[in-house]
Structure formats: C-alpha cells, structure tokens
Structure 1
Amino acid sequence: KSPTIQNPIEDAITQLLRYQEIGEKFKGQGAPHLFEPAQILIATCGQVSMFATMGTIHRHYAEWKVPFPMTLDELAGTQPITAKGMYGLGLIHKGRKTRKGGETPLQSKGGATPPLQRIPTPQDVLLYGMLYPDNLLDIVRNFTVFEVVGGTTVKKVARYQQFIAVNRAIERILSAKSPARRGGIIWHTQGSGKSLTMLWLTVKLRRIAGLENPTIVIVTDRVDLDKQISGTFERCGFPNPERAKSVTDLRKLLRSGQGKTIMTTIQKFQEATGKLHPVLTEEKNLFVMVDEAHRTQYKSLAANLRRAMPNACFLGFTGTPIDKKDRSTIQTFGPYIHTYTIEQSVKDRATVPIYYESRLPNLRVEGETLDTIFERVFKDYTDNEREEIKRKYATIEAIAGAPRRIERICLDIIEHFEKYIYPNGFKAQVVAVNRDTAVTYKATLDRLGAPESVLIMSATHNDPERLARYHLSREKQQELIERFKDRNDSLAILIVCDMLITGFDAPVEQVMYLDSPFKEHTLLQAIARVNRTAEGKDYGLVVDYWGISRCLQDALGIFHPEDIEGVMRPKSDELPRLESRHRAAMRFFDRVDRGDMEACLKVLEPEDVRAEFDISFRRFTQSMDMLLPDPSALPYIKDLKWLGKVRNAARARYRDPSLDLSGCREKVRKIIEEHIQVPGIDRLLEPVSIFSERFDEEVARLSSTEAQASEMEHAIRHEISVRFEEDPVFYQSLKERVEKIIEEKRQERIDAARQLKLLQTIKDEMINVHKVAETMGISETELAFYNLLSNVVVGAGSPRPFSPPASLKVAEEQAPYGEKKEPKKELAGLILESLEKLSVIDWIHKEDVQRQMRRQIKRHLRAAGYKLDEIEPLTTELMELARVRLGR
C-alpha cells in the first residue's frame, strides 16, 4: 500500500483478511482457496511491514526486524559485510577462501544485489530477512508447521528471533572445534514461543545430512511442562515424540536406534545415595534440550545429566535471564547462543507490558519483623483479641492466612476485578502463600458473591477434610483449566498456590492478585502469566498484597539490569503517559473554539488529519482504560467525553468507519456512549442516508451553507462507495462529477451555495435512478447491465465510450419510424434472463455454474456482433455485476 493513504497497513491486512474470508463480515467476498498454497503473506507500506500465514487473524501479523545473516549496519552499507553475510545474500559461493581468511566474491548465485547505501526501512529489513532465496527456502522447509488447535488446523511460521536462534544453534553445532563446545543457552523471554523454537531446532537437526538423523532428548522439571512440550510437538505433526517412564525406559529408548525424540523429566536423573548415576548411552549423535535450564534442580543434577549421556550436546532453553552469580548453568551448557529480552518482546508485540500495583499496604507481610507486621495487620483489635491471635498465628504465613486479612483482600479483589478487568472480558489468577490459605481464599470469595472461581492445587492422601473437599482429579482439573482459558466461559478467577504459576499459558488472564513471596526466577516466571497477547489486551497487571513490590529491586537484584529492563512497571508510571497522550489528542483543536462543533469538524476534514487524530485518541483511551477508575484519571474524563463526541461527529459527517468505538476498551467505550446518548447529542452524531426522508431536514439544521455542502458531499461519497458495484458505470460518472465540483470549489470558481445546489442535483439523480429504469420499461438490474453494455468499464480504469457493433446500428436504422428498437436494452434483458435461469442457490461458490454463465454471456455477445477482443473483458465485468445483483 502507498504510505500516503490513511492507515495503509490496516488497509493491507484488512484486504488480505477479506480475500481469505476471515471473519463473518467477509464471507462471500474473497477467494480463500487461492491462498492455500501461499507460504507467507506480507502487508507493507515501506515504513511498516508485517507478515503472516494463511488464516492468520489481524493481531498475529508481525514484523521481521533483523536482516539475518546480516546486521542492520551491514544492510545499510555503513559497515563491511562479513563473509557470513555475503554468503547469506548469495554474493559469494562457499569454499573459495582469500589469503586473509575471507571468501572470494563471485557472481551472485541468484541474481542477488549488494546491500543498500541508505538507512534500511522496515520493508527493506523484511525483504532481505525473509525473502532472500536461502532464507525463504529455509523458512518454508524448516520453520513452518501446521498445529491442530481446538479441532482447527493452524499454519504457523517462525518469528525472526526463533529463526535466528535456531540457525545460530545449528551454526555452533556444525562449526565447534570440539564436541564439548557445541552447546549453549537460548534465552527467549516467556510467552515468545520457546516451545516452537525447540520444535524447529529439532526439525532442522533432523534434516541436516551430516548429523545422520540424531536422537533428541527433551528434559523438563515437571510433568505438566513435559506434557506441554510433547503436546506442542504432537499437535504440529512431529513424528514419534516418546515419553520415558523411568530411567530403565529411557536407557531402552536411547539404545533402540537413532532418530527418536524422547521426552523425560529431570527427576529421572536423581542419584541414589552413595552411587554414581549410570551411563545410559555413549552415543555422540545425541542432542539434549533442557527446558528452564536455569533452575536450581538442574544445577544439582547437571553432573548426573553429563554422566548419563557423556558425549551428548547440551542445549539449554530458558525464559528468564541467567543471574549474575550463576556460573554452573554456563558451565553445563555453554555461553548464550541467542537472547530475546522482555523489552524486545514487548516492542515486537509478542507479549504485552506488565504493570504492578500495590494495594492495601496495611495488610502486606513482607520486609518487616513478625511483631511489626502483627501490630500493623491487627491494629483494630483489642489487646485481649490480639494476644489470642498472637498465640494462634506465630508465623508470617499464619498471619497471611488469617481470615480477617483474607476477607479484606477478597473484598478488594472483587471490587478491583469488577471495575478494572471484567468489563473488558479478561480473567484473573489469585496466588496464595500455601494450600490452607488458598482454601480460605476460595471459601471467602464464594461467600462474598465473587464471580465464578475455581481452586486448583496439589493433593496428598493425608489432607484434612478442609483441604480434601477441594481435591480434583487430573481430568477435572484439565477440564476447568480449559474453561478458564475460554473467554466466553463464566469461570473468571483461578486460585492457586503451588500449581499453574509457571509454564501456564492463558492469554485471557490479565491480572494476577499476588499474595505470596516470590523472588528472582520464580517471580519472573510467575508474573509472566499475564503477559500473553489477546484481542483487546494492552497490558498485564500484577496486584501485590504481599509487599513484594516494596522489595522489587532486591527480588530482582541478582540479574543484570539490562536483562530485566521493562519486566514490571509501576502502574503510576502510566500517569505521565496519560498526561502526554491527553495533550496530543487535544492539540488538534488548539486554534478553534471547542464549543463550535462545525469548526472542530472542519479541522478533521482532511483524511490524513483524521488518521493522526484517530491514533492520538486511541492512545489516550488506552491510558485511560489502564488507570480508570483510579482517582488520578478522573480529571481527564470530561475531555475524554468531549473528544469521543467530536470523533463520533466526524465519523458521521465524513462517513469514516475507522472512527467507530470498536478500538476502545469497554470501560472507556461505556463512558463515551453514555455521554453521546444524551438527547440532542445522539442526533448530531447519527449519520443519515441520503435516501432517508429525514436527510434534507437534517442538512437544513446545520448552521452554515458550508456545513450543509460538506454534509451533502460526504453523504453522496459514502453512498457511491457503498453502491458502486451495483452499477459501476452510473456511479463512476457520479463520482467524477462530485470530484469536479469539489475541485471547482477548492479553486474558488464556485461558492458554497453553488456547490450545494450542484450536489443536490447529483443526490436527486441517485434517489431517482429507479425512475429512469421505469421510463425505459426495465428493472434497475437490467439498467445496470444496459449501462455496462453501453459504456464498457475496462479493469479499474475510467469508463470509455462504447461503439455498438454494426449489426446493432443496422437494426436501429432499419426500424420503422416510431418503432425504433433498442438492441442494447434487449441484449441486456436476454443476458439477465439467461443468468437468472442458471442462478441456483449459492451459485457464486459453484465454479461449474459460473462457467455456464460465462458461456451464455459470450454466446449473446457474439450473436450481437461484438469483437473477440471486447467479449472477454466485457464478460468479466458482466459476471462481476451478476455476483453483486444476483448473488444475494
């Protein structure tokens, strides 16, 4: 798309969605079967470029930000290209070495051109990164999978960080000077597709001939993660993922031949007291991928892993960075292969930013002595009551689980959830310090009438009745988890303490109510539950009741600052952004009287200005949505309502569908809608069709001739746009006349009064088109066919005058006086009659019926004396008209 049009990327993606008929509103408007062989879809306008695959919904379109194997500087030409980069571009062939160790430039293998000599645009980066022949073939062959999700097959292609990580891992494996140096660590922040990265690395390892179909072992530290990863492999059709049930079973699988993919847990490598772990295999053609490789249990069992598979290549995957003091993880796996940080993921929209908010500070239990905490939490009790409680609650965890404290938190959770989260259709997770406290949360939320919740926790045979009543089978737990993940299901709150805190993926979860002490890696993993993307989800939120946010720097102090940049942001950080976005939206009207709606609408008349205003308005509403109903946002509500009113008035005046409220979240939309439904305002904001009896009355209400002409102009433009395909020739002629009137007004050849009069004439012609058909004795549909036959529209160009064939002219000339025939009208009737006979139900989706229709049209046109070079394009135009007129 041209970068000069309004919302070019939005238009491009919407067009691709329409062609594929993705969404109910696009049914019958495209040709989805044409996209089935397409590998990659690209929407680009130069400054923004996004890619996807067939069937991808709007929010999953992504950018490709690195022109791998080159760097951005190499692509720009500001740095010399390395041999690796030149080979990737096809500028050199591998194997020809220079004396300095480089490779000799030869003729390009695939007609590749040298890099740019300018700053690369996002379009350049995507084209070089994805579409250079070697990369494109690699993506198609090794980085595309079909995953079955909910009974639907979904095509997925790698994002740039996955593509680079896998290829760098392969490069290290193939170029290492010793087997011990083949491994390393891939740190890709949680929610960015780590399981698929493991899958694609496995696929590529399988397909490298020199590796001779290796065996691959995938190690996790929990059964649920083991199932999650194996489930991803199985859903993507990856052959033979097998789960080892024991060490003996693992040894058997490892020794039963090459080419297996084996799933196992780290617990299989626990060493018996006083014994060395047995060697399971000495095979060299073995790759061990360890998920969440930073965890403590891996450090203690690393020696057992090495001893069990002494010649294997170890590849560590982690969703959190390696901490400053951690040397064992690097020693076990090797240095980083590739990193993809939290901040990068948010910028790429692979995840949403996480904000935190501390609530009920008097109830926090972190960072003070037990006595201090006790005095603060129970300050409202009498001395006798406090003494009794003190004997009962002798630990911090016991204080945390006190029913009075939990009740106050639950009341706050219900209020917060129903005001902030639930209106936008999202869900919540409550994290308790232990199972007993989790049960208290569940019972209290139920008693207080909270939205539907479920408690999922581990169980033991010795649990007391209070806990045992909440025991669930594994099958029942899975059923409830699936309900929670379903946005349309009423199950809204998930209560946990020792399960579903890490490795749990539910995009519908927006808020975590945290009442448990987390630090370091566990904290990073826990809060990432709310960072998954979902439709309408701009951020995740951690609400802290424990007090961890007060010690956030200490909790994350073991990491390098650059590794955890952007991990959690105080919700208060949004206030300065709100102030800035408010100013950006209001500045459009700095030079006009804000009480004069016509003056404000005049500001928004240019399409490019409306596009800029729309972006500013949406950003302002995002910040308002995040903060409302916080008191800090209340001063901005008046301007929010006013801007919403102006925006809706502009939508009505300029018939601009992009200015609807669909992009606003429910909380903000409700405020605006309640305001614009006030009597007097709603009428102003309601677009009226020129075919409505009220139209002239509504135009007359406007205060000036200029405003009346503007309303008339945009109403006509809108109707032409909506109805154009119903009679292309007629509406194209009207469109050209409107453009001419507008140009004459712009050059001040006519005034607003004359402009209004000319536009009124065009409006009357549109309304009375049926009278033209009646005068000719034909239907409006026949009239549309007649117009095409009289004035052929070729492709997307302007109409060209039609010269009737000689046979038609002769027929007209030989007709007796007073009985002059109209062969074109008769031809239109014959063609329409033939098509109506063939138009069975759903014919627009039946190629055999359309083939018969085209034959009939061509037969009639040949009989009427049309030339061969006119018949084909005219047949195409008549078929398009038939789809519109007869395909309803």
Structure 2
Amino acid sequence: MSSSRDRLEIEFVEDPAVDLLRVLFDYGELLLADVSRLRESTTDVLLTRRLETQLQALNPWIDQDGIRRAIAAIARVSAIDLIDANEKVHTALTYGITLPHTDANGRRQDRSVRYFDFETVEKNTFEFARQVAIKGPRQEIIPDIIVYVNGIPLVVIECKSPGLSDPIGDALRQFRRYEGRDEFQGLGAPRLFEVSQISLALARDVAKSGTTATPTRFWADWRDPYPLSSDALASRLGRTPTPQDALLAGMLAPENLLDLVRNFIIFETIDGKRIKKIARYQQYVAVGRTIERIRTALRPDKRGGVIHHTQGSGKSLTMVFLAIKLRRLPEAENPRLVIVTDRTELDGQITGQFQRAGFPNPTQAESGEHLRELLSGGAGTTVLTTVHKFQSAVPKRTDVISDSPNIFVMVDEAHRTQYGALAARMRAGLPNATMIAFTGTPIDKKDRATRRVFGDYIHRYLIHQAVKDEATVPIYYEMRDARMRIHGVELESAIRRAFPELSDEEIQKLKRGTRLQEKVAGAEERVRMICQDILQHYRETIEPNGFKAQIVTVSRDVAVTYVETLRDLGAPECAVIMSTANNDSARLQRHHHSKREREDLIARFKRQNDPLKILVVCDMLLTGFDAPIEQVLYLDAPLREHTLLQAIARVNRTADGKKYGLVVDYWGDNQRISEALEMFSEDDGVLSAMRPASEKYQLLESRHRAAMRLFDNVDRNDEEACVLLLEPEDVRARFELDFQRFAEAFDMVLPDPKALEEPYLADLKWLSRIRATARRTFSDERFDARPYGAKVGELITSHLQSEGVEQLLQPTDILDPAFLRSVAELHSDEAKAARIEHAIRHEIHVHRDENPTAYSSLWEELEELISRRRTDRVSAASQLARLEEMATRSAELRSDAGGIRLSGTSGAILPLIEFRPDLDADTRREIASSIATDLEAMTQVIDWHMKEDVQRQMRRKIKEHLRTAQSDFQEMEASTAKIMDVARARFSK
C-alpha cells in the first residue's frame, strides 16, 4: 500500500472511527503502552489485568483462584476448530460460568461468574486500541482497531482506504489471514477470533459487518443507527453521517454492543457444518422496536403489531432473536411463546430454525388437544403450531385456553390465514396474548388488512432495501408467449357431437366448468413446445453458472406432463414435488413421493453438486422455500398477488456468483405482475377509509337480522318447513342475497372473536345447510362438468396448433421504473378496454346499493356499449376512449366537478344535486352533509321505508336544504327522488 493511500485510510477512515467511539460513546482510548501494561505478552488477546479488576467488581464474592479460572475459561479453550472454540467462549460470555465457592461460614456452593453486567451497562469498561500486535503461531497480525469491553476483545475492526478499487474485498481478505483460514490456513492469530464476537470492515462510504469465519457474501451493511435517528446522529456528529458512521453508531453504542453479543448471535449446524450468525440491522431494529412497544404500550392489546420484512430477508431468524430477547425481558414475566404458521411444511421449517439456533426446548404441537395442553401449562414454554390446530383446541368461543397476559404469539406469513375463523379461535383461546405478525406481503384488500388485525407497523424492510443491502439479489422478469391456435368452430362442433345428450345451456356450462384454460395449458403439444424453450434457455443461461431451476404449473396433472416431457427430451435430472391423494389417477400415483422421499429430493436440489437440477411444482415450495441455488423460476400458472410474490421470491436468495434471480413467465397475463408489485408500495390511505370496528359489528347485527327474518314465523327445528319457504324463485333469490350479505359482514368482523359469538356462527352454519338443501330440492344445483373433463381435454388437444414461443418482454429488473412502463406497453387497446370494463363493473357492483340512480345509469350505458361492441359497430380504439371516459365519470360520482370529496351517505348524495354555480365548495359539502344527517336521524323509525308519512317528512326536509342549493323546481324534484333512492338503499337493510 502506498503512503498516499495509508494517509487516506488513516485520515478518512480510522481517525473518524475512533473519534466517533470516543466522542459519541465515551470509549476510553488505550495507547500501545497501556495495552502492554494490561496484558502478559504479545500472544495474549485478553487485557488480563483489566479483566481481573472487572471480574472482581462484577462478582464481589470471587477470590483470586476463581478469577484465574474465569480467565482460563475463555483464554484457553479446548475445541476442535475455530468456530467450536468461539461458540464455547460466546456461551461463557453470555451465560457466565459456574465455579465452586466457599462462603464465610465454610459452606461450599456453586456460583455464577459474570463477565459483563448486561443490565447496567455503565458498570462495564469500554475501551479501544489502535494497531495492537498479536503474535500467532507463525506470524504476527496488527488489526487497525480492537474494541475491548472489560478487557475482552469483542470487536475487531479493519480500515481500508476509500481510494482502493475494492476496499471491502481487501479487508475481508485480511480477516481471512487474521483468522488463518482458507488460503491462509496455519497463518494468522486465530486465538483473537476465538474470543472476539464481531468483525467490521470500514472504508468510509462503504462499511460491512460480519462475525467469526463469515463467508464473503454474508458480510452485511448496517444502515440504521438505531436507537438514534439519522438526524440525531448527524446533529451529534455535526456533519452528514457516512455509511461507516451509521454502522459504528448502530453496532458499537455500548448498550447495542452488549445487546448484540448477548441476544443476536446464534450458532447453527447446516449440512453438517457449524456456522455462526449475527443479526442484520433490519432484524435488530425490528426486535428492538417490538420490545419498546411491549414496554411502553398503554394497554395490553396495543403491544402487538406488524413486522413487514420482504421475502428472503431472514424473518425466521428475526423470530428467533425476538424469542431470545423476550425470554430475558423482565416485563414479559417468563413468557409463553407461540409460533404460528399456516402450513405444515412451514411449521417444520420454523421448528428446525429454532432447534438449529439452539433455542431451549421448542415443542411442536401434534394436535389441537396437545396444543391446548402445552398452552395450559406453566410459564416459559415455547410452542410451535399451525393455525389449523386452534380449530379443535378452541371448539367454542368460551373455551379459553389461557387468559394470561404473558403469552406472546408470533404469526409467520400473516397475510394468508390470519383473517378468518381459525384466527378468531386463536384469539378467543388466548384473549390477552400479544399478537405479532411477520409478513413479506401484507395486504389491504377490502377488510382483510394485516395492520387492522394486528396493529400498526413495528418495522418495515422492503424489497428495494433488501436489494440495496445485498441481502437479496435483484429479480428480473421476462415474458414469453407460447403461441397456440384453436380452431374454435370445429372445436364447438366436436364438443356437441361428443355429448349429444347435453342441451345448449349445458354445453355452455360445460365450457365454463371444465377449466378450459387449464386444459389448454396442459395440452401435450403446448407443454412440449415450452419444455423445449425452457431447456434451451436453462442450458445456455443458467446451468453454465452452476444454478438450478423451478417450474410452476397450473395443476398437478400439468406438472406431471411437464416432468414426463422434460425426461423425454433428455433434460437434466428433474422431479415433481406435489401433494398427493388416495383417489389420484394411476398416472399421478406414479409420481407420488412419501414425505421422506420429498425431503430427500428437496435436500438434493439444494446441494450445488447434486445432479438434480429442476423441480416441477404446482402448489408446493412456493412459500418459505429457501434454496439459494435456485436462480430461475419458469412460471406457467395464473398466480396472483401475494402468492405470485412468494413464488417470485424463490429466486432472490443470495449465493456465491449469483448476481440476479430470474422469472420467465409463460402464462402471459402481464397485468398480474403489475398488480402484485403494487402491493410492495401499499397505500396507507386505504386504511383510513376502512370501516371502524363498531360499524362492522352493527352491520353484522343488521345483516344477520335480515337473513333470519324469513324464518321468524316457522319452527327452525323443522328444516323441511324452512326449506319449503324457499320454493318461490323470487323468495329464493332474495334469501340468496341476504345470505351473501350476512356472510360478507361475518367475514368483515373476523378474526375478532366477536364473530364467534352466538347466534352469528351457529346461524350462519344453519343458513348454509338450509341453502344447500333448497338448492338440491328445487334443482338449483349447478351443472357438474367434471365427468366430461377428460374428453373435453382430448378434444382441445386435437384442435390445438402450435405457433412457437415468442419473447414479449426482455429480462427487466422488477424494481426498475421502466419495468412497469414496459408491461404497460404490452397492453393492446383490446386488453386495456377489457381491464377498464372489468374495473367499471366492479365499481358499479360495489357502489350500486349506495347510489342506485347514478350507478344504474352508468350500468345501462356500459351494457349498451358492450352490446354494440359485440356487433362490431364500435372499434376497439373507440370503445377504449368511451370506457376511459366512463371510468372518469365513475370516479367522479364520489366527488363533484370542483374536487369536493365526501364519504358515506354524504358522498353518495353530493353528485345528485345540481348546485347553483355561485355556491362555494364548503357550502355544497355542508348541504350534502346536512341532508345525510337529517335522513339518518329520521330513518331510526322502525320500518320507516314502509311508512308514507315518514317518507313525506323526509322529502320535505330534503327540499328545505335543496332550496339553498337550487332554484329550479323540476331539478329539486328530480334530486329529491334520487336522494330518497339513496336513503332506501342505505338505511333499509
């Protein structure tokens, strides 16, 4: 290294680092003379005399022999290798060691020796020294900075000039030499790293952290100076913090350093090799903020929340770190911990993670009864379970398992099953538990909002942050189209000839019910064409780099077709991983694997040198499957939203030499990827518009009453009589609507245990039974297309012609703004029109009850336009323009031309009033709100909509307000009639 670069290293890296430690955190600086005075020789890594003083202060009972033994326990460790030695030292440092002791009365008893005071940080001594020489067996090493706590070297820091081309790479090579591993085997001074716990590589504008023997790709950024904010750090430094500053402040603040050593380091055995892991910053901050919330929440039900960390960023380890921290939290009072997943394979994976991390006695619940037994036991247990076991563990809402407040429930992948009856039973069984959600894709669709259920965010770590931190690799997306052509007229004739016994209506139901899209997807000619394309792409792009592939198909039948076709084409070794059933066809059963066989295949796939290169799946291995060796996912299934995100994330794990993950999509519906990625940037505004809980309970009550009203005058135990009430078709149609609305309201309240209260759940089950019986009795059952499925598949295949695979979209980074633009460019006028048409239909469906007049008019216009389109009298471009205009009008129905926005009944009334142009926005808003308030008060009269005198008063009140807004009599009459329609729609249910 030149003297110029030496100067840059010292001036821009080393000096700022020690200044920060000294000024910000009051570390003491030891000169080399001090180090010589405090240790025995240059071979010693401990500052023995400082440690003797601190051991005496922290353990006043200890004698000189005890001090000597305590020092020897971490200075002279018998171990098989460096990691084994480091683990033994870490255990001693965090838990202490036990020594025999004779008290003043001559009684012998064992006592624990503490090396640190973890509770009162000020009682420890924090120091650093620069350029300390440590003599190894053959060579001497001189780290730039060593941080000592109580004379124990906990942190080794290597500084590199920011002028180097690869300063961090140079620093990591230096650490390998210091540790005497890899190409430096037998060199260095590994004894230092038997004791040290954290290694830091600094170069001002880039800084990374690791620990003992950390592989190069696992060295990580630390971007958050938590608990300091970035602004607070800048204020205290008097300058803009560098990445180096953020790392040092976040990891070496005295409280943080001891916390990291005690609670955020674990040792795991993976593939027979013992490895050491230290938390990444997002894990540390998430756990810290969770503990803060638990400590400071004003009410027990406010202690929980959502940890949203993108897939592949280590959520399972975060759960382990949180569990370790909770175990030591005094406020948690020796807690019971419950780790909940929604799938058996995830339950096994999380259990394995806890066991590998050495977490004490995690117990996997085997059944609902076993779960209840485990949670009814004493404090301090750790239980791992699937959410489904709460079904039998809590058969009734009143079957409380435990009302203890020191139960902490951690729910993995909380966006999937945590909104329904199972989750409600979990909450009913553990009413005072703290619920903490871990998710990679929280959703806010309708009322199934992760944050509504669990509480506000505790911490978020999103996909772009993970890519920036190199915690995950970027994901590229490529679209290919397997072009197929079906002779439609000939196929229609063939179907009719094949099934002459079916009516025209049944033929149409047959085409809808036999999953034609799936039949086309699984056609042998199409699958063969795609397999040929996959093999060419894999052999040219993926296999040369030593990586593997996963293929996702639309069904198990298609998965089998894929694997058989791949083998026929001479592909590398491949296997299908799928669920099984006893009544599977012989074809499927040839590909069945036992649980052990599946586990063996998955383990082989994860091993780099194993010849198993391709896994074909349908619904398995899409979530929680961690295989860094997988670089490409070939997608031939209509996955959507969080399921699509979970599948995509299979390729984002880091691996040596892996620069990106790739998704090659053959399904073709590019709108799916756009919709899925929008979930990454969740709009907080959605939440403010959600119904409050009290309103949902009222809605549940009123819709329950409406659904049950039909059976008021009949004995409900006489189900035959109840079913006969539904014989008239119009009664049956009304009942179906009331039932659907009640079920919807019930779903809105879930997972609140209030939904399980009587009579709601029991009545919903009873109504479902009556509904099913009525359908059978009055021939309402749907046409069953299943018996015809195989033959229809054969007919489709025989009429299918291949036209080759076309690349529609070049591989593009999904986080690149150009990506969504590229996807948008794929949309033709026809496709855009179809999406807008669908959106308008949905808008009308959702809001028609609120404002029947306005939305009915929009509905009629839409139907007329579509009818004209069918007769080819409107071009695609013209239709698109009309639909875009209608979409704008639809959006404006909840605001006037002046941009006035109101919600609820006021928002429905506002666009129905033709205001005078001289009225300002505030006046218009006030008039609509006043009408809504008066109507709501007047509709409290029971059966008001059947009483003409009440409606007369309502019309009079509406006109009183309209006189302020309108002068034309005819306009006033028309507006009054429309507003009364809104009142009937909103207040008659």
- Given the two structures, how large is their TM-score scaled by the length of structure 2? 0.51
Q: Which residue of 2 is the match for residue 156 of structure 1?
A: 277
2:608 match: 487
Matched, 1:49 2:207: yes
Instruction: Tell me, in whole angstroms, the C-alpha distance in 1 between the residues paired with 2:166 and 2:264.
Output: 30
Secondary structure at the aligned position of 1:259 is classed as: coil
Aligned residue in 1 for 2:224: 66
1:8 CA drift (Å): 1.8
Q: Distance in 1 between matches of 2:538 and 2:495?
A: 32
Q: Does 1:437 align with 2:596?
A: no
| Cα shift at 1:56 | 0.5
Residue type of the partner of 1:234?
A: Q
Q: Is the 8 A contact 1:40 1:53 kept in 2?
A: yes
Classify the secondary structure of the residue corresponding to 1:513.
strand
Maintained 8 Å contact 1:438/1:495: yes
C-alpha contact (below 8 Å) 2:161/2:203 kept by paired residues: yes
**C-alpha distance in structure 1 between counterparts of 2:811 and 2:556, whole Å:** 32
Cα offsets for 1:424-457 (capped at 9, x unmatched):
1100001111111111001100000011101111
Alpha carbons 2:310, 2:441 under 8 Å: kept: yes
**1:416 and 2:537 aligned:** yes
Shift of 1:572: 4.6
Please name the residue that 2:357 is paired with. Answer: 236
- The Cα offsets for residues 792-811 of structure 1, whole Å up to 9 and x where unpaired, read as xxxxxxxxxxxxxxxxxxxx
- Equivalent position of 1:636 in the other structure: none
Aligned runs of 1:319-718 on 2, under 5 Å? 319-363=440-484, 374=486, 395-557=516-678, 560=681, 571-573=810-812
Q: Structure 1's 139 and 375: CA in aligned 2 closer, same or farther, altered over 3 A? A: farther
1:218 aligned to which of 329, 339, 345: 339
1:388 positional shift: 8.3
Cα distance in 1, alignment partners of residues 814 and 442 from structure 2: 30
SS of 1:267's partner is helix
- Secondary structure at 2:441 match in 1: coil
Report the count of equivalent residues: 524
Are the equivalent residues in 2 in contact too, given 1:54–1:155 (CA < 8 A)? yes
CA distance in 1, matches of 2:430, 2:237: 48
State whether residues 190 and 525 of structure 1, in contact with CA within 8 Å, keep that contact through their aligned partners in structure 2.
yes
Maintained 8 Å contact 2:410/2:437: yes
User: Which runs of structure 2 are paired with 1:817-836 in the superposition (5 Å)?
Assistant: none
Out of 542-551 and 324-333, give the one that drifted further: 324-333
Find the residue that maps to 2:420 and give its secondary structure. helix
Q: Residues 375, 154 of structure 1: CA spacing in aligned structure 2 closer, same or farther, 3 A cutoff?
A: farther
The one-character-per-residue Cα deviations of 1:168-213 (angstroms, maximum 9, x if unpaired) are 0000001011111010010101100000100011111110123221
Deviation at 1:396, TM superposition (A): 1.0
Note closer, same or farther for the CA distance 1:279–1:385 as it changes in structure 2 (3 Å cut): closer
Matched to 1:71, the amino acid is: S
> Residue 570 and residue 340 in structure 1: after superposition, are their counterparts in 2 closer, same or farther (change >3 A)?
farther
Give unmatched runs, 5+ long, in structure 1. Answer: 78-114, 364-372, 564-568, 580-888
Q: CA deviation at 1:319?
A: 1.3
Q: Is the 8 A contact 2:179 2:193 kept in 1?
A: yes
The whole-number CA distance in structure 2 between the counterparts of 1:175 and 1:357 is 47
Whole-angstrom CA distance in 2 between matches of 1:407 and 1:434: 16
2:237 alignment partner, SS class: coil
Contact 2:223 2:247 in 1 (8 A): yes
Partner deviation per Cα, 1:449-492 (whole Å, 9 max, x = no partner): 01110111111111111000111111111111111001111110
CA contact (8 A) 1:355 1:571 kept: no
Residue from 295, 299, 304 that aligns with 1:174: 295
Give the SS at the match of 1:288: strand
Unaligned runs of 5+ in 2: 1-159, 500-506, 685-807, 819-989
Q: What is the RMSD of the two structures over their aligned residues, measured on CA atoms?
A: 2.9
Asked if the contact 1:439–1:455 (Cα under 8 Å) also holds between the matched residues in 2, the reply is yes
Q: Does 1:264 align with 2:393?
A: no
Task: Determine which of 123, 126, 147 is the counterpart of 2:268.
Answer: 147
Q: Deviations over 1:212-251 (max 9, x none)?
A: 2110011111111111111011011110100111222112
Give the structure 1 partner of residue 896 of structure 2: none
Give the conservation status (yes or no) of the 8 Å contact 2:368–2:393.
Answer: no
How much does 1:398 deviate? 1.1
Deviation at 1:331, TM superposition (A): 3.1
Counterparts of 2:590 and 2:281, CA distance in 1: 48
Instruction: Determine the structure 1 residue equivalent to 2:416.
Output: 295
Q: Which amino acid aligns with 2:284?
A: F
**C-alpha distance in 2 between matches for 1:558 and 1:48:** 31
Which amino acid in 2 is paired with 1:68? Y
Measure, in 2, the Cα distance between the counterparts of 1:274 and 1:11: 61
Give 1:14's aligned residue. Answer: 173
- Structure 1 residue 31: deviation in Å? 2.9
**CA deviation string 1:684-723 (max 9, x = no partner):** xxxxxxxxxxxxxxxxxxxxxxxxxxxxxxxxxxxxxxxx
Q: Distance in 2 between matches of 1:272 and 1:28?
A: 57
| Match for residue 187 of structure 2 among 22, 29, 36 | 29
Judging changes above 3 Å, is the alpha-carbon distance between structure 1 residues 274 and 251 closer, same or farther for their aligned structure 2 residues?
Answer: closer
Q: Indicate if the aligned counterparts of 2:477 and 2:814 stay in contact, CA closer than 8 A.
A: no
**Amino acid of the structure 1 residue aligned with 2:162:** P
C-alpha distance in structure 1 between counterparts of 2:559 and 2:496, whole Å: 24
Q: Which amino acid aligns with 2:219?
A: Y
Deviation, 1:269, is: 2.0
Work out whether residues 397 and 429 of structure 2, in 8 Å CA contact, stay in contact via their aligned partners in 1.
no
Q: SS of the residue aligned with 1:197? A: helix
Correspondences of 1:39-118 after superposition (within 5 Å)? 39-77=197-235, 115-118=236-239
Counterpart Cα distance in 1 of 2:497 and 2:212 = 67
1:164 partner SS: helix
SS across alignment from 1:290: strand
Aligned-pair CA distance for 1:272: 10
Do the aligned residues in 2 keep the contact of 1:281 with 1:309 (CA within 8 Å)? yes
Measured in 1, the distance between the counterparts of 2:348 and 2:394 equals: 29
Give deviations 1:266-322, integer Å, cap 9, x for gaps.
111226999536211111111011111111454342321110101111111101133
Distance in 2 of aligned mates of 1:352 and 1:18: 28
Bigger relative contact order (CA 8 A; separation at least 6)? 2
Structure 1 SS opposite 2:340? strand
Rounded to whole Å, the distance in 1 between the matches of 2:449 and 2:476 is 32
1-side partners of 2:212 and 2:609: how far apart? 25
Give me the whole-angstrom Cα distance separating, in 1, the residues matched to 2:498 and 2:568: 25
Corresponding residue of 2:318: 197
Mapped partners of 2:591, 2:483: distance in 1: 30
For residues 353 and 15 of structure 1, what CA distance do their matches in structure 2 show? 29
Percent of residue pairs identical: 54
CA distance in 1, matches of 2:394, 2:249: 56
- Residue 633 of structure 1 is matched in structure 2 by none
Matched residues in 1 for 2:261 and 2:487: separation? 64
SS of the residue corresponding to residue 465 of structure 2 reads helix
Distance in 2 between residues matched to 1:575 and 1:318, nearest whole Å: 20
CA distance in 2, matches of 1:419, 1:194: 34
Give yes or no for contact 2:462–2:680 (8 Å, CA) kept in 1.
Answer: no
Code of the aligned partner of 2:198: I
Q: What is the aligned partner in structure 2 of residue 246 from structure 1?
A: 367
Kindly provide the CA deviation profile for residues 761-817 of structure 1, in whole angstroms up to 9, marking residues without a partner as x. Answer: xxxxxxxxxxxxxxxxxxxxxxxxxxxxxxxxxxxxxxxxxxxxxxxxxxxxxxxxx
Separation of aligned partners in 1, 2:815 and 2:334: 56
